[in-house]
A and B are shown apart, each in its own frame.
Chain A
Amino acid sequence: DIQMTQSPSTLSASVGDRVTITCRASQSISSWLAWYQQKPGKAPNLLIFKTSNLESGVPSRFSGSGSGTEFTLTISSLQPDDFATYYCQQYNDYPYTFGQGTKLQIK
């Protein structure tokens, strides 16, 4: 199985900050990586697919980059609604796997 490792596990930041979350795969997944946002008690919400493609309706302050084994999710200017947990997921190969999550909290 492909292991997905996110860093950091917890990130404290302020409104207006630029933040970056990293996701590393244990082997190459080409560009088959997605990012999800999850708020407490809610289902995850797809933000970005295939590394850098913004899902419809997702604000442009979210962006993704990378390829192979290293990927990043960047939020250019944090908004109050962005404090949540973020997960990466590889879908290059079965079984699909998720990262362990990054909790973005208010500093």
Chain B
Amino acid sequence: QLQLQESGPGLVKPSETLSLTCTVSGGSITSSSYYWGWIRQPPGKGLEWIGTIYYSGSTYYSTSLKSRVAISVDTSKNQFSLKLSSVTAADTAVYYCATATVTSLAYDCWGQGTLVTVSS
């Protein structure tokens, strides 16, 4: 049973870079059976897709965020990461990592989410 866990600072200063890691257990980050994604949710608002990475290393990003975002994989630690640069208060949100199997292609396994607040 795949499990995901987000980790990273809960507070980031404006203009700095937000960095989060998602640790995968119960499966391999290099498996061709999955792809890995990040989704966020500002307080009281809806879900916003950030981006995804395939086992091949191919990445796809939100149009509004692509100039500031990077998703990468660390195979040695079975983790994937999110970096979002030049953050503002508008980036305050609960950040979720999630995975989709090649069966459903929808996000069928999610981390619990981590709140990141952008404030000085």
**Chain A residues close to B by CB (< 8 Å):** 1, 32, 34, 36, 38, 42-46, 49-50, 53, 55, 87, 89, 91, 94-101
Q: Which of A32, A43, A94 contacts B96 (CB 8 A)?
A: A43
Q: Which residues of B contact A38 (CB under 8 A)?
A: 47
Q: Which residues of A contact B111 (CB under 8 A)?
A: 43
The stretch from B23-31, B57-65, B79-87 touching chain A is B57-65
Query: Chain B nearest CB: distance from A15 CB in Å?
Result: 26
Whether B49 contacts A46 by the Cβ 8 Å rule is: no
Query: Chain A nearest CB: distance from B59 CB in Å?
Result: 10
Query: Chain A nearest CB: distance from B100 CB in Å?
Result: 8
With A1-B63, A95-B61 as contacts: A46 and B48 at CB distance below 8 Å: no
Q: Is B106 an interface residue (CB 8 A)?
A: yes
Query: Chain B nearest CB: distance from A30 CB in Å?
Result: 12
Q: Is B75 an interface residue (CB 8 A)?
A: no
Question: Considering only CB atoms, which chain A residue lies closest to B110 in the complex?
Answer: A43
- Expressed in whole angstroms, the Cα–Cα distance for A74 and B104 within the complex equals 20
Q: Which of B51, B52, B60, B112 contacts A43 (CB 8 A)?
A: B112
Which of A46, A55, A97 has the most B CB atoms < 10 Å from its CB? Answer: A46
Q: Which residues of A contact B100 (CB under 8 A)?
A: 91
Whether B60 contacts A49 by the Cβ 8 Å rule is: no
- Expressed in whole angstroms, the Cα–Cα distance for A100 and B104 within the complex equals 22
Whether A32 contacts B104 by the Cβ 8 Å rule is: no
